[in-house]
Structure 1
Amino acid sequence: MPHSDTTPTYIPKSEFISYLDSYAERFRLRIRFGRRVESARYDQKSGRWIVKARNGDVLEEYVGRFLVVAAGENDEKVVPDVNGLDSFKGVVIHSSEYRTASAFKGKDVLVVGSGNSGMDIAYDLFEAGARCSIVVRSTIHIVTKEIWLFAMRLMKYLPISIVDNIILFLCYLRFGNTAKYGLRRPNIGPMYMKCYTPVYQVIDVGTYDRIKTGEIQVLPSLTSIEGSMVTFSNGKTHHYDAIIFATGYRNTIRQWLETDEGLIGKDGMAKNNYPDNWKGQTGLYCAGLNRRGLFGSSEDGLAIADDISKAYNLLMHVNGVKSDEKYKSV
């Protein structure tokens, strides 16, 4: 369902919520909020999927012919198992728990993780008067919002490889050699990574300039913690009052999906490579679980909708089936 011609490029929250409500109403989507899935299994006898979900104190049961697993890659927060973390004397939080930098004013804070969350938090801490360091282990593409918006427009007219070359050229003009300051770029271009992998570019909000001046220090991976002292892979040790882990999330699909029909692996991701990653047996599908980014999720969704539509129309033609979805509290 397209947006109207008068919709602005940056949609206000209220207008976007209205669009989602209209979308659900038009396509008669019966959305159940505030539920947590506890189990999903295929019942051989009935030929149906049985999903049990927790709604407060009530356990609900849903029964359907098809099950689409689109829970995404990010659900449960990840905190690395660092030797001696339990001995740390200061504050330890995950980025999902971060609310304001004011509590860290005048303190030494270590941010672990160099994605968008980590970079944004580091800059926020610096602005609030904290002495901030950031751990950067992996290669990253750092871009400006203006460069990225320009690149998105170019994608309508140019191949992705050319767009990536333009992005990298513009980024070099803006940032120079980022590796000089501990921010190495991947060998794969930023637009390709966004479209085909779960790794996204970092939109710089001012952090890079603070890194260049040394006001935010870039450090390698940490190896151990003892009290308030943190040791890094380069052998150096520093004192910190707080550690913020901006280390992402993992999915929890295999905690509740009891029957996978060979479609989803132990890591909660699709077992098969594209283009055979989205369809299993007995009406099971998965979307966005093949590490192909937003573009892959979109392709999966379109393929799944088309396949279910064909299967459903065939059932209606052969058996006169209209709807067999059931719901009850158990």
Structure 2
Amino acid sequence: MKSNSKHVWVPGPIIVGAGPSGLATSACLKKQGVPSLILEKENCIASSWKLRTYERLKLHLPKQFCELPLMTFPPDFPTYPTKRQFISYLEAYAEHFSIKPLFGVRVQCAEYDPSIGLWRVQGNDLEFICRWLIVATGENAEAILPDIGGMSEFQGQVLHTSFYKNGDDFRGEKVLVVGCGNSGMEVCLDLCSSEVQVSMVVRDKLHILPREILGISTFGLSMWLLKWLPMKLVDAFLLLCSWLILGDTEKYGLARPKIGPLKLKNTTGKTPVLDVGTLSRIKSGQIKVVPGIKRFTNKGVEFADGRQEDYDTIILATGYRSNVPSWLKEEEFFDKKDGFPRNPFPNSWRGKNGLYATGFTRRGLLGSSMDAHRIAEDIACQWKSKTKHPPLEM
């Protein structure tokens, strides 16, 4: 910690991150009568949604599974709200609960000081002192850039999906999308709709599920069935429905893992793809499926099977990761390798010495809401039962 920093005492918890998870936790704390302070490195709430997402993005799940605590979506919102609608909801949420983050504060270091029994949080030229620290930077804090040989030799454009906005920017080009998760699939569909010649790298096996089964959300149906049936049977049902609705995806270079989609998500965190129309473009040949990349060339790539192909642009749909290990000085609660809590859901929200985590459940906004309620209730019990520290003399 910087010795010349100005010290600021915060009587309630500090929340790092003003995304949906941080906002939800702040609102739940406020309902319990506990004040909080959100520190946010960007100059706006929900910076990932506002600054790093493509224009055609919609919520992958129906809106009832994506609401934050204590406030529903407007009734006129569609089943799958758009990016702009979701951002407007988050802005209304922050205004409704009078949540006012401290923007432009990048947390460089946070460490528990056992000599005073409090957390020291270094942000810019300030050192915040607090009893409770809530990590809400989430699963997608920074882009993953793969290390592929020869990338510097490629003469075209290489960008991560966090910089991709819409397909019109690439009209008439030949584009390779590296990655076949939900983002990669949607970017391919968006490019295809803009008359771009697009190919998609599929290196691993993956599950593609219909977004809806007989007009019912596949996710919602899965959650309901899991209340009554073991996961193995629900997985078998989902795969049968997928085969009936989508057909045999392996014929198009999209082989399925042996483990069912729900079990795979539970054990590895790998989310199945919910098809929004990309598969039909793959079947028609408008989107070409290609194998993994061996190396870049000056005009394109060489694939794992030895074939070479030229491209104008390469878009990396290679996902995101947690950045917690870069700033949180803590050894037990968070895993230094992946930046996630060591304990799996539903026990991933509380650590020791007043440390909490929200938005690391691998269960999307629904998991964040569950975290927010638990954290607020736990801190409220301590807030009401213990004498609060007076401001420290620094």
| Same fold at TM > 0.5 | yes
Match of 1:108 in 2: 174
Identity of aligned residues (%): 38
Shift of residue 276, structure 1, vs aligned partner: 4.9
Query: Residues 16 and 283 of structure 1: is their aligned pair in 2 closer, same or farther, counting only changes over 3 Å?
Result: closer
What letter corresponds to residue 190 of structure 2 in structure 1?
A: D
Q: 5 Å matches for 1:110-149?
A: 110-147=176-213, 149=216
- Asked if the contact 2:300/2:312 (under 8 Å) is kept, the reply is no
| 2:50 equivalent to 1:50 | no
Residue number among 187, 203, 208 corresponding to 2:274 in the alignment: 203
Larger radius of gyration: 1
Q: 5 Å matches for 1:159-198?
A: 159=226, 161=231, 163-191=234-262, 198=269
What letter corresponds to residue 246 of structure 2 in structure 1?
A: F
What letter corresponds to residue 74 of structure 1 in structure 2?
A: N
Q: 5 Å matches for 1:1-330?
A: 1-3=69-71, 7-8=75-76, 10=78, 12-13=85-86, 14-15=88-89, 17-22=91-96, 24-25=97-98, 29=99, 31-54=101-124, 59-147=125-213, 149-155=216-222, 157-159=224-226, 161=231, 163-191=234-262, 198-258=269-329, 260-267=330-337, 268-274=339-345, 276-289=347-360, 291=362, 296-315=367-386, 320-321=387-388
Question: How many residues are matched?
Answer: 313
Secondary structure, in 3 states, of the residue corresponding to 1:238?
strand
What letter corresponds to residue 199 of structure 1 in structure 2?
A: K
Shift of residue 47, structure 1, vs aligned partner: 1.5
Q: What is the alpha-carbon distance in structure 2 between the residues aligned to residue 243 and residue 312 of structure 1?
A: 52
Shift of residue 98, structure 1, vs aligned partner: 1.1
Q: What is the alpha-carbon distance in structure 1 between the residues aligned to residue 346 and residue 286 of structure 2?
A: 46
What letter corresponds to residue 158 of structure 1 in structure 2?
A: L
- Asked if the contact 2:73/2:89 (under 8 Å) is kept, the reply is no
- Asked if the contact 1:164/1:189 (under 8 Å) is kept, the reply is yes
- Asked if the contact 1:93/1:245 (under 8 Å) is kept, the reply is yes
Query: Residues 284 and 19 of structure 1: is their aligned pair in 2 closer, same or farther, counting only changes over 3 Å?
Result: closer
Query: Residues 156 and 292 of structure 1: is their aligned pair in 2 closer, same or farther, counting only changes over 3 Å?
Result: closer
- Asked if the contact 1:198/1:293 (under 8 Å) is kept, the reply is no
Shift of residue 64, structure 1, vs aligned partner: 0.8
Deviations along 1:154-174, one digit per CA (max 9) or x if unpaired, are 356432635544433332122
Give TM-score scaled by structure 2 length.
Answer: 0.70
Deviations along 1:174-219, one digit per CA (max 9) or x if unpaired, are 2100111111223444455567753323232322112112221111
- Asked if the contact 1:36/1:53 (under 8 Å) is kept, the reply is yes
More deviation, 205-214/236-245? 205-214
